[in-house]
Amino acid sequence: MKKIKLGVIPGDGVGVEIMPYATQVLDVIAQVHGGLKFEHSWYPWSCEYYLEHGEMMPKDGLDQLSQHDAIFLGAVGNPNLVADHTSLWGLLINIRRGFKQTLNIRHAKQLRGITPMVINPNGFDLIVVRENSEGEYSEVGGRIHSGEDEVVVQNAVFTRKATERAMRYAFELAKTRKGHVTSATKSNGIVFSMPFWDEVFDQVGKDYPDVEKRSAHIDALAAFLVSKPSEFDIIVASNLFGDILTDISAAVMGSIGIGPAANLNVDGSYPSMFEPVHGSAPDIVGKGIANPIGQIWTGKMMLDHFGETELATQLLNIVEDVTEAGIKTPDVGGKATTSEVTDEIVSRIKQLT
């Protein structure tokens, strides 16, 4: 029996609502497999935990999580209780950095049964490789002056190692797919980091003569992603650009609630973390209508990560069968609840046996 030890962090808001359903889906798919078992340990780390303990996770939280093969996270953030930068840096970003999850891989494609933002006769299927450890998310800077002459400086940090790592991963991925990589730049306006980004893209690209290289400024790229998503295969982007592009790519599929993501520790020194693109969605919390597909598809990416590719493909196929049958939450034009969508997915998985 192959056992996968999962550290489960539902987090806040719809993360808490969706997580029991998503883990149920993983358990059922493991039963169908027959030789696979998920062992989960649940951690209540969240904004409510912060109110009680004064921290988002215990001091030895990373040690506790390191006992697992992977982390399955819902969403973090309840701005009514805790300032976002405190909750996110205290938990999500703390784990990403502590566990060297230097890449964030986010898939987007046209799903059967979900109307995309723009109708594409040939559909679309793209992956954003987001640098996940540095860039614009930096603690370098500060408040220089206060009062009338207040000045705040926020620096961005780009290292050759991390930039190369993201680009190499993108090129390798492109070789297994349609064979082109688009680099998200802004070297027309940002004078240090982005010319460096372009330079590394060119240098690493030389090792991949068969992969087509494209480069687009982030503003135009964001627009093209909406109007012509079928023209992309792999997009490689810095931390902030990748963040923005992947809310867009999820919305282009039909809803922010369906985008999946994998925070990868590429050298295997620590567990990777699987967490959807969306946040805690405070505007719909408590209504039972959160779309579980982002979290379930994220679970599919985790199955791929552990080499269960056949099962992973079957899972996404079933999700699409369910949306095609019209069983969908309101964000993608349906009337079903989180539980109705999941029940249907679960019952179709059981029919696989």
14 touches, from ligand IPM, ligand NAD, Mn ion, none (C-beta below 5 to 8 Å by class): ligand NAD
Instruction: Give how many residues touch ligand IPM by CB under 6 A.
Output: 5
Q: Quick count: other Cβ atoms within 10 Å of Cβ 253?
A: 25
Token pair for 220? 């135009």
Token pair for 136? 């614009």
Site membership for ligand NAD, residue 245 (CB under 6 A): no
CA distance 214 to 221: 11
Site membership for ligand NAD, residue 286 (CB under 6 A): no
Binder to ligand NAD among 44, 58, 79, 286 (CB under 6 A)? 79
Residue type at 257 in one-letter notation: G
Q: Which residues pair with 248 in a beta bridge?
A: none
Binding mask 262-281 for ligand NAD (x = CB under 6 A): -------------x--xxxx
Q: How far is the CB of 340 from Mn ion (least distance, A)?
A: 27
**Closer of 106 and 165 to Mn ion (Cβ):** 106
**Closer of 134 and 308 to ligand IPM (Cβ):** 134
Q: How far is the CB of 82 from ligand IPM (least distance, A)?
A: 13
Give the residue among 258, 274, 255, 218 at the shortest CA–CA distance from 105.
274
293 sits in which H/E element: helix 293-305
Which residues in this chain contact Mn ion in the complex, by CB under 5 A?
243
Binding mask 239-258 for ligand IPM (x = CB under 6 A): ----x---------------
Site membership for ligand IPM, residue 262 (CB under 6 A): no
Site membership for ligand IPM, residue 88 (CB under 6 A): yes
Give the residue among 109, 13, 27, 122 at the shortest CA–CA distance from 323.
109
Residue type at 317 in one-letter notation: N
DSSP-derived secondary structure for 150-197: -EEEE--B--HHHHHHHHHHHHHHHHTTTSEEEEEE-TTT-SSHHHHH
Q: Which of the residues 287 through 346 are near ligand NAD (CB under 6 A)?
A: 290-291, 294, 331
Site membership for ligand NAD, residue 61 (CB under 6 A): no
199 sits in which H/E element: helix 193-205
Site membership for ligand IPM, residue 237 (CB under 6 A): no
Q: How far is the CB of 243 from ligand IPM (least distance, A)?
A: 4
Give the residue among 4, 16, 3 at the shortest CA–CA distance from 43.
16
DSSP reduced 3-state for 101: coil
Residue type at 335 in one-letter notation: K
Q: How far is the CB of 310 from Mn ion (least distance, A)?
A: 30
Interface ranges with ligand NAD (CB under 6 A): 14, 75-77, 79, 84, 88, 92, 255-257, 275, 278-284, 290-291, 294, 331
Interface ranges with ligand IPM (CB under 6 A): 88, 92, 243, 277, 279
